[in-house]
């Protein structure tokens, strides 16, 4: 045992308020991201009106007390300090991050290439080859996940209860209105993305559990519409292409004998 006072660790003296904060910190799941914990710590310290010490708050949020002290005194984050070295400002990156999250939840998630393209549009110049890696490091709230085709997501909702309820309603409607089979049709559509496989790696909100993809990126979408009658017959299928004018090649190989080929303008149907 040493008698040198320099070798002794001074005990951390905390107030009752800090003790409560430490207990609260242990019961809560603190963010894994250091910057997020630092922001929470600054807020907790400032809201305490001097009742909490910097050391006590730093311990509760598992961060360095010197870093917390600098931030309280007006220091900036590492990302902000190096903002001039980045292609996008922190504000611009924040907008891009929110856009990525919104697109993912809407069912149109962005691939890494699409994210880089959007960033280039914002910055007015091409992103470097390592920009995506650095961007993902700066934003751990985003995660790279594989998409699930929308049809698969719909299939998960095809429960026995849902199917039974539909057919009960159908039987009642047909019986009540005496509808013959030849007057009952089912129409469905299938969207096919040209050049897209079943799954694609996309960047989305880390908290998003399932990633359904309707139309990731700016891919050409072809829609096929089928109509089947309850008497066993079927109408000829329709195929919808997105284009400004009809292409004669669309009807060259037509094993299903589709009779309607419709072109779609950006402003509506042609």
pLDDT, tens digit, for every residue of 4-17?
Answer: 443 433 334 445 55
pLDDT tens-digit profile of 89-106?
888 899 999 999 988 887
Q: Kindly report the length of the chain.
A: 270
Determine whether 100 is exposed, middle or buried from the number of CB atoms within 10 Å of its CB (0-12, 13-18, 19+).
buried
Mean pLDDT over 2-29 rounds to 48
Q: What is the mean pLDDT of the chain?
A: 75
Quick one: which of 202, 239, 227, 236 has its CA closest to 107? 202
Can you tell me whether residue 17 is helix, strand or coil?
Answer: helix
Write down the H helix ranges in 30-186: 34-47, 54-60, 65-72, 78-81, 90-106, 112-123, 131-138, 150-156, 160-177
Most confident of 3-17, 41-55, 243-257: 41-55
CA gap 68, 73 in Å, rounded? 9
Q: Tokens 């929308």 label which residue?
A: 150
**Torsion angle of alpha carbons 124, 126, 128, 132, nearest 10°?**
80
pLDDT greater than 50 at residue 2: no
pTM for the complete prediction?
0.40
Q: Which carries the bigger pLDDT value, residue 64 or residue 30? A: 64
pLDDT tens-digit profile of 137-152?
888 899 988 877 666 5
Structure tokens at 58: 């730093």
Q: Which of 50-54, 120-124, 220-224 has the lowest mean pLDDT?
A: 220-224
Structure tokens at 10: 């001074």
Q: Domain boundaries in the chain?
A: 5-75
């Amino acid at each position: 045992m040493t008698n040198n006072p320099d070798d002794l660790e001074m005990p951390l003296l905390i107030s009752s308020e800090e003790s409560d904060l430490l207990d609260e910190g242990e019961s809560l799941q603190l963010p894994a991201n250091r910057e997020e914990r630092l922001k929470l710590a600054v807020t907790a310290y400032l809201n305490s009106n001097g009742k909490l010490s910097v050391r006590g708050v730093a311990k509760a949020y598992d961060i360095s007390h010197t870093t917390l002290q600098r931030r309280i005194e007006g220091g900036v984050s590492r990302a902000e300090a190096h903002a001039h070295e980045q292609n996008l400002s922190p504000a611009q990156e924040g907008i891009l991050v929110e856009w990525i999250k919104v697109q993912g939840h809407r069912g149109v998630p962005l691939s890494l290439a699409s994210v880089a393209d959007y960033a280039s549009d914002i910055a007015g110049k091409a992103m470097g080859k390592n920009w995506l890696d650095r961007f993902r490091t700066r934003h751990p709230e985003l995660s790279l996940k594989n998409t699930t085709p929308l049809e698969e997501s719909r299939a998960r909702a095809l429960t026995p209860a849902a199917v039974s309820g539909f057919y009960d309603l159908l039987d009642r409607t047909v019986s009540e209105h005496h509808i013959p089979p030849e007057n009952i049709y089912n129409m469905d559509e299938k969207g096919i993305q040209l050049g897209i496989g079943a799954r694609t790696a996309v960047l989305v909100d880390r908290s998003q559990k399932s990633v359904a993809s309707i139309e990731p990126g700016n891919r050409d979408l072809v829609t096929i519409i089928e109509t089947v009658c309850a008497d066993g017959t079927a109408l000829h299928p329709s195929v919808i292409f997105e284009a400004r004018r009809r292409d004669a090649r669309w009807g060259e190989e037509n094993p299903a004998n589709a009779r309607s080929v419709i072109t779609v303008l950006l402003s509506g149907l042609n």
